[in-house]
Chains A and B, each alone.
Chain A
């Protein structure tokens, strides 16, 4: 079982919908990440939160809006997405972004389809 839980596992949404992806971890990690992954491609970093503050935004379009309400939760709010945004969205956490030996622990991802 994964220690990083993502919901929902699958999501189909229209281009005018508003939806949210959720991620939760209870390992006491203080860094949380959103990645986007296209089929048979490596994950691409979108956002990094460190101690509940946004520390990295990889020039992601504003139709993706991250939120970190507390140290255990990470949300990704979606609005007015495009079909090319269809992908696997992976959440990850680590002890601390600045800690030398702090590997990422990933969730199972949310498979998003935009119609």
Chain B
């Protein structure tokens, strides 16, 4: 079974600084996607960034970037120039692209609460 582990229940960062959130996963599959979702107090789960396992180049979306280490099964999120609006719960998620009813199912980590200090 696939599992996703976020070892940091809580993190904090000063505004304008950089913070890295950790995520590791366990899978025997080779074809999958990894995601980071953000859930602010407004409750909506917002897609931050995604990475296809076959792509070696790390994904980047503006101030958000990932460090994808496939062999180590690690997928960390780096937030640069942190802003107050980045405060939220961040979930790492894994989606397998393999057959049967598991296809497309999203497995979430336990989440990391990020606090941004002014």
Give the interface of A toward B (CB within 8 A).
2, 31, 40-43, 45, 48, 55-56, 88, 90, 92, 94, 97-98, 100-109, 111
In Å, the complex CA distance between A92 and B91 comes to 15
Cα(A2)–Cα(B43), bound, Å: 11
- On chain B, the residues within 8 Å of A40 by CB distance are 89, 111, 113
B-chain residues with CB within 8 Å of residue A2 when the two chains form the complex: 44
A108 lies within 8 A of B35 (CB): no
| Complexed CA–CA distance, A48 and B57 (Å) | 31
Q: Which stretch, B17-25, B64-72, B74-82, B98-106, touches the partner chain A?
A: B98-106
Instruction: Please tell me if the beta carbons of A101 and B52 are within 8 angstroms of each other in the complex.
Output: yes
A48 cross-chain contacts in B, Cβ below 8 A: 104-105
Report which of A42, A88, A108 forms a contact with B91, defined as CB distance below 8 A: A42
- Nearest-CB distance from A89 to chain B (Å)? 10
> Which B residues lie within 8 Å of A41 (CB)?
110-111
Distance between Cα atoms of A97 and B104 in the complex (Å): 5
Listed in ascending order, the chain B residues whose CB lies under 8 Å from chain A are 33, 35, 37, 42-47, 50, 52, 89, 91, 97, 101, 103-106, 108-111, 113
Whether the pair B47, A88 counts as a contact (CB closer than 8 A) is no
**Nearest-CB residue, chain A, relative to B109:** A42
Determine the residue in chain B with the shortest Cβ distance to A111. Answer: B43
Which of B43, B45, B91, B104 is close to A31, meaning CB atoms less than 8 Å apart? B104
A43/B45 in contact, CB under 8 A: yes
**Counting chain A CB atoms within 10 Å of each CB, which of B44, B52, B110 scores highest?**
B44
Contact yes or no, A56 B105, CB < 8 A: yes
Given contacts A42-B109, A45-B105, A56-B105, contact A100 B42 (CB under 8 A): no
> How far in angstroms is the closest Cβ of chain A from B106?
6
